Structure 1
């Protein structure tokens, strides 16, 4: 027996809809449930098992005993709409994402619709939302059946963030594939499968899969969509690591049918031909095009694949009002105390000797000495705790041959390369090996003196620490929650301990690289439930964990030695979704500290000038050469006798300026002026018409919470305050734990079970919700796919189906708005969407919920039925009378099937036109056809009876 897509079947005693086909198997979704309850069923197997009972079915009609009040029926209606996931709207991805995309974030998606295959370079500015833009494209390709498997290639430190973002924002359960997870994933594989063919959505460490041992198997798996984050790191750089990344991505791009998304905020990485290679991944011919002399025809062709916008572009051309915060930069200085000055001078004398005694050595040995000298000074000037750790652990690897340790292994400990993970541990091996190699290990007394000086530098004598305590106190008084950025774990723990002592009543947490990624995320989430709060963090947090929801200021306790890292830190709070109109960044440094002055003057000032001029950050090219050369020359040689340490460093200034000019030109040319805001808004409006607007979500949630006994209190600015404490206790007392569990799932850190909340303050169990994005400060955003909305919708919908707690599937009311009886049918029709783009095409299922009216023997279309939905009840209808009307309504519906199908055909033509309009806006070729799949489900009936007299 054939079961077409969209048909209703009876299976295991309940109705299901045929959602999809996977070979000969059917993917069935229960008509009253969501995708998480879907099953894969093979018809032949099901027929041979008597209790499976796979056969044609029909959604059951409302029953006479299922009458409910108009209020509860309205909740049921709204719940049915908000549970839709297989959208019939032109942008199918919107129905399954938990974010409310801004019109400018739809631009890459509209660009993708015109490409086959999709080949896009998304180079929007930091904090604009490239993850959301890429996720929308991926979700659209999956939901349109243009792709089955997705591989996201990322630097290792971004894997957990991508897994989290795909799950929380796009309802995609991705598996992380890395050396740490491979064995566990392989244990769960069916015979004949590997991890790359079995799991449909994968987040893969690019540094794992690029290796010749793993690359062939991955390439053989043929993922349909490949996303490369931080794509600039996959096309440039002298290190072998970069070359292996490029080889992998280039081989993936060679498949002409593969969809490829390249993401980077810094496409110009300072390597002249790296940007050309990046373009060549989109189309091979692009690699040979010079951006300096593009013809208009070539510019237009490249613009179909390349979008690059600054925040200014977004605000001036796409959005009105405030989307991004204003960044207020403050420079705050401290003066070294006499004790700290003595410690620095002693450490400097040792470091300078390390550098100057190596002048006659080979380049590798000299460079090694420079790194060690800089690392020692950096640890000493970070904090007394870091200085003690560096000196105490110095003997860790004494005796190891310098030649046995590759120079690159120590790179992250010194110059903070932008394409390597942050290293927040004291570089003890580097110090030990350098001292031994220089023969300085024999002179222990200066090092013992250094240790004694560091131990004597108590927190009270630490002027750097005391100054930052004052700055934190000031920011808290201004209403900010700050992040204090430290370079080393030892420093972060020291600062956090002293902040707790100095600021009683303030929640302070230290989050460092000694915690794994999930533990870091949990610690930050826990801290964000408390106020006032301070986060002390190392740079492991600056790589991928967004902090804008809970923090609005940043203090650089240790100045980073790379402007790229400075931007990463500040970008954690200065990004889309920051509720405060301003963020404050404090560049904190020693006014009489030579090392801090060197960092500021030779590294950070120029980067700030570029950002102010362009409105974007441009990374430093060839970071190690530039940073080490400039710092060594500035610190250890007089201005009149500065040697040429690294010849290539002299070219960096020129390369950096060339990158600035390239950025200026490309962002002007490829800001996507061809797409208009009105076109993106129209596409979003079409989706809202099917799925429900934010205003409908707000009304439903507030009414549903009131039904459950909560009383949301409007605070203004679209925020509602909802106290949970007494309500949860009352639920548990009445044995209604399922409702408490709903809140726990939706807000796990606010609505904990009562047994786990002893001693917690009442305000910690209070929700502040908002339904518009970006959300006001201190509120949680609740969109249509938020767990709270889904949980409340299922609660109302399933109880109506089972006729529980006074819910039901029909209602009757008297109103003066009608002069004869009107039956409003709540329908859930399904459509087949036949889409094609170039050679690709497929048939997918789409659904919506709509109302049609039956009045005086005439069936009225959905647009005319809307007026009846707005009528309010003015009197009750006795149950016996209502049951008579329900019998008539069901008879009219049964007899009017032909008319119902005509309404759906008309509606299908309207939907088809909506699809074509969006395609036209995206300049998309191909065809689209929308046809009703079958008779619709009759979800419910609203009976309007004329008011007497």
Structure 2
């Protein structure tokens, strides 16, 4: 062999055996230790080695240590769990730190069936769009089709994406934001951008959209891009226009793969929806839904599922999501609080009546009224803050705040707005005095919250209480600390930086029971399902989608609690609460029941404002002046019409885009094959139980988790685990999702992979873990067979070539068990394979019937080893070739939908590595 070994060839260098991987450049070898992991790959130049690099083989040594049945089965499990370069068509499965649901594989299959994957994933909140995009990214990286990528997302989602990629997919990416870019660029050559230096990035859209940065990024942008919250990039607002210009430039490259994520693709804005679709394919902007050909083409790029479709439909994913129980908690206002609200509303209506007939003046007066009334309904402290504050210099910014549309300034989302009213008005000063007096009186709303929380907390719930304003959140936090002094309690508001918010939530996870008070700065950006299981809407949302976002932080994929509760607090005595319920929330809920989704407010807010004021006036029992009367009635009528239009459009949208083309029966069999080849989470659990018992440190069950006491393991193994930050007693969850403070036990968990690698290494080099008894040969009597059967544990290597614009050659591996009967070889001079896969594994794992005398054991082993060379040239060589052909068919089957997708060929590397040879003797012999 020349020292240009092909991928899969074995070489000897630096005193050990290695597997050759695809070379990064001419004359350089990429080598992975035969018994090592992906982290042990080295690059070397053969011409610089003191001892020449030589070809090597993997033979079963004459002095291979013997082992018993239980440890032979443990070795087979360990070998399967060490493999990271999976041979199956889902190559990414070997790298995942979680078990994806089958419905989450649909976008991946869609992507594999496109020559250039471009998808818009528009699943409901909480279904797992991040996971679905990550699966596509991980798969294309493991196939060698993607070298670099960028995730573009709003700034408050950057760190979450970095964490998700690392924890779930094993991908390390750097965050590129206004705060990190300068540090990342420091020291780089003038000719190199940070996107050249860092191939894996998560980028703040608000940082990169600026024109001077946009052009640089467009030139250096990787050919794989994920865009989160894509609907926020296609509107006509200046900031959205800049984002759209950026994405349009990227989409012009026909070879760029783009995955767009959004839970609200349409939102009632046809123009914005057309822009969104144009990023997938410019021709989709026409939106000719009446054309069957158009719909057929779009269906290959657009996937949209509601949770109800997955729970009650063919997917039967009811265990992937918790049950959701929603209740309302009405509370009465005290006479003083009611009098204050009525006084404020009377004052506001008087100001509106005096605003004149100019449209802008009247609209500003309407907004000022609603903004102040929101604060009044929230808490006396928020009302006092608003009454004391001066209005913004640009009063038009009041409208998005009123309707929970926070724009791009996430840090200011929960600040109380200032009033637009004259500061020297005696009536205004009287309201300030009235609010100050209320601060010293019992708060009926806070008392109702405490009453609602007591039974929940006694049942072990972990609630998060959402408030609209900072002043209210601080007021509620102080009150709850008095009511529940022994509880782990904290508040998270916009006064904290995004990193501080994340740290505070993470700190709370350590407490046995938690109670969080938060503003809507947490309704996006930080997933709370691992820490909290109950949502309390202390303040009503004025936009139904914000209401959904709050609950979606907790009620989502990965929630370990079987039941999520949500409580909506309101006062029937409050004109504010009554108006919001009547005009917005009740109607949105009615639409949700019909369509299965929460719809946003109609795009034009004027009728909404008019309808809310009309409802407040009528609930107050006041008779508005003629100047108000006509406009308010018109607004109410227009609002009703717009709600009907929104509901109808949403029903049409869901009918058009429901993803029904791919059925569970297409996805499930393919994933089952992967689980069999690589080992499922259940296989990982069984392996760890047996391995820890082998070390004399059995797992300890403390429902709902198990404890692995790694501090009691062998010193060498304990040191390896310490390098992975696994010390003390590790809490492991054996079911999905994992409870707070525990890690899901899967094949990629550090404890599983490190233990498996150590056991395989111990079989090859018994001195690495002396006394463990993990040998490579053995013989025992068993009831599992009727004739003497040889069972071979093999490591197969295949070369997979993807024939695309850029041809990719990859080395993949798999573990295999092959059984053949000794008598067949004696009779025909050729042995027939009698069992493989799970059937062979069953033979191996059947407990031995009795110990075999050493002399008899060695005789059976010697006979089998003598026939091994012939087996490797005959039936085993045929088995490996046939297995390569099967893999080729599996890969082709996933890409049959589009003939233009890359073709895949699979070539077996001969001979396979014989890791173990075991003789199974019938019990009667």
- Taking a change above 3 Å as real, the CA distance of residues 423 and 621 of structure 1, as seen in their structure-2 partners, is farther
- Trace 1:13-412 onto structure 2 (pairs within 5 A): 13-24=15-26, 26-39=29-42, 41=43, 43=45, 46-50=46-50, 54-59=53-58, 61=60, 64=63, 66-187=65-186, 189=188, 192-236=191-235, 238-291=236-289, 293-294=290-291, 296-320=292-316, 322-323=318-319, 324-345=321-342, 347-348=344-345, 351-352=348-349, 355-359=352-356, 363=360, 367=363, 370-387=366-383, 389-390=385-386, 394=389, 405-406=393-394
Q: How far off its partner does 1:589 sit?
A: 0.9
Q: Partners of 2:185 and 2:634 in 1: how far apart?
A: 49
Contact 1:548 1:578 in 2 (8 A): yes
Q: Partners of 1:476 and 1:708 in 2: how far apart?
A: 41
Find the partner of 2:9 among 7, 18, 21: 7
Tell me if 1:417 matches 2:405. Answer: yes
Q: Partners of 1:678 and 1:167 in 2: how far apart?
A: 31
- Taking a change above 3 Å as real, the CA distance of residues 448 and 513 of structure 1, as seen in their structure-2 partners, is closer
Tell me if 1:562 matches 2:562. Answer: no
Comparing 513-522 and 227-236, the one that deviates more: 513-522
Contact 1:424 1:539 in 2 (8 A): no
Q: Partners of 2:20 and 2:632 in 1: how far apart?
A: 70
Q: Partners of 2:246 and 2:640 in 1: how far apart?
A: 31
Contact 1:388 1:455 in 2 (8 A): no
TM-score by length of 2: 0.88
Q: How far off its partner does 1:121 sit?
A: 1.5
Q: How far off its partner does 1:218 sit?
A: 0.9
- Look up the match of 1:446: 430
Q: How far off its partner does 1:231 sit?
A: 1.5
Q: How far off its partner does 1:682 sit?
A: 1.3
- Taking a change above 3 Å as real, the CA distance of residues 476 and 245 of structure 1, as seen in their structure-2 partners, is same
Find the partner of 1:540 among 507, 518, 521: 521
- Look up the match of 2:771: 806
Q: How far off its partner does 1:848 sit?
A: 0.4
Contact 1:412 1:423 in 2 (8 A): no
- Trace 1:481-492 onto structure 2 (pairs within 5 A): 481-492=462-473
Cα deviation 1:1-50 (Å, max 9, x = unaligned)? 313222333444433333334344554333333323334x263xx52253
- Look up the match of 1:759: none
Contact 1:313 1:671 in 2 (8 A): no
Find the partner of 2:798 among 803, 828, 831: 831
Q: How far off its partner does 1:823 sit?
A: 4.2
Q: How far off its partner does 1:346 sit?
A: 5.1
- Trace 1:425-436 onto structure 2 (pairs within 5 A): 427=415, 430-431=417-418, 434=420
- Taking a change above 3 Å as real, the CA distance of residues 206 and 621 of structure 1, as seen in their structure-2 partners, is farther
- Taking a change above 3 Å as real, the CA distance of residues 654 and 227 of structure 1, as seen in their structure-2 partners, is farther
Contact 1:117 1:257 in 2 (8 A): yes
Q: Partners of 1:584 and 1:124 in 2: how far apart?
A: 22
Q: Partners of 2:633 and 2:82 in 1: how far apart?
A: 62
- Taking a change above 3 Å as real, the CA distance of residues 442 and 802 of structure 1, as seen in their structure-2 partners, is farther
Q: Partners of 1:4 and 1:566 in 2: how far apart?
A: 58
Q: How far off its partner does 1:192 sit?
A: 3.7
Contact 1:330 1:586 in 2 (8 A): yes
TM-score by length of 1: 0.86
Contact 1:415 1:628 in 2 (8 A): no
Cα deviation 1:32-88 (Å, max 9, x = unaligned)? 33323334x263xx522537x655444575673644443333223212211222111
- Taking a change above 3 Å as real, the CA distance of residues 50 and 388 of structure 1, as seen in their structure-2 partners, is farther
Tell me if 1:527 matches 2:508. Answer: yes
Contact 1:424 1:489 in 2 (8 A): no
Find the partner of 1:927 among 903, 906, 913: 903
Contact 1:359 1:366 in 2 (8 A): yes
- Look up the match of 1:615: 596
Q: Partners of 1:390 and 1:347 in 2: how far apart?
A: 12
Find the partner of 2:851 among 876, 889, 895: 876
Q: How many pairs are equivalent? A: 901
Comparing 226-235 and 318-327, the one that deviates more: 318-327
Tell me if 1:789 matches 2:752. Answer: yes
Contact 1:351 1:373 in 2 (8 A): yes
The root-mean-square deviation of aligned C-alpha atoms, in Å, is: 3.6
Contact 1:633 1:643 in 2 (8 A): no
Contact 1:312 1:615 in 2 (8 A): yes
- Trace 1:902-921 onto structure 2 (pairs within 5 A): 902-920=878-896
Q: How far off its partner does 1:471 sit?
A: 0.8
Q: Partners of 1:185 and 1:22 in 2: how far apart?
A: 25
Q: Partners of 2:7 and 2:724 in 1: how far apart?
A: 35
- Look up the match of 2:673: 686
Q: How far off its partner does 1:345 sit?
A: 4.4
Contact 1:424 1:512 in 2 (8 A): no
Q: Partners of 2:568 and 2:477 in 1: how far apart?
A: 19
Q: How far off its partner does 1:531 sit?
A: 3.6
Q: How far off its partner does 1:614 sit?
A: 0.8
- Taking a change above 3 Å as real, the CA distance of residues 901 and 193 of structure 1, as seen in their structure-2 partners, is farther
SS in 1 for 2:662: coil
Contact 1:62 1:939 in 2 (8 A): no
Contact 1:832 1:845 in 2 (8 A): yes
SS in 2 for 1:152: strand
- Trace 1:449-848 onto structure 2 (pairs within 5 A): 449-450=433-434, 452-457=436-441, 461-478=442-459, 480-622=461-603, 625=606, 628-632=609-613, 634-635=615-616, 641-642=628-629, 644=631, 654=641, 656-712=643-699, 721-723=705-707, 727=709, 738=719, 741=722, 745=726, 767=731, 769-771=733-735, 773=736, 781-803=744-766, 804-807=769-772, 808-817=774-783, 822-836=789-803, 839=805, 841-848=807-814
- Taking a change above 3 Å as real, the CA distance of residues 360 and 671 of structure 1, as seen in their structure-2 partners, is closer
Comparing 55-64 and 12-21, the one that deviates more: 55-64
Q: Partners of 1:625 and 1:8 in 2: how far apart?
A: 73
Cα deviation 1:640-666 (Å, max 9, x = unaligned)? 634649999986655554343333233
- Taking a change above 3 Å as real, the CA distance of residues 216 and 653 of structure 1, as seen in their structure-2 partners, is farther
Q: How far off its partner does 1:566 sit?
A: 0.2
Q: How far off its partner does 1:586 sit?
A: 1.2
Q: Partners of 2:872 and 2:732 in 1: how far apart?
A: 47
Q: How far off its partner does 1:351 sit?
A: 4.7
Cα deviation 1:499-543 (Å, max 9, x = unaligned)? 233235443332333334444334334434444332222212221
- Taking a change above 3 Å as real, the CA distance of residues 258 and 410 of structure 1, as seen in their structure-2 partners, is same
Find the partner of 1:898 among 853, 865, 873: 873
SS in 2 for 1:828: strand
- Taking a change above 3 Å as real, the CA distance of residues 816 and 570 of structure 1, as seen in their structure-2 partners, is closer
Q: Partners of 2:83 and 2:279 in 1: how far apart?
A: 37
- Taking a change above 3 Å as real, the CA distance of residues 933 and 407 of structure 1, as seen in their structure-2 partners, is farther
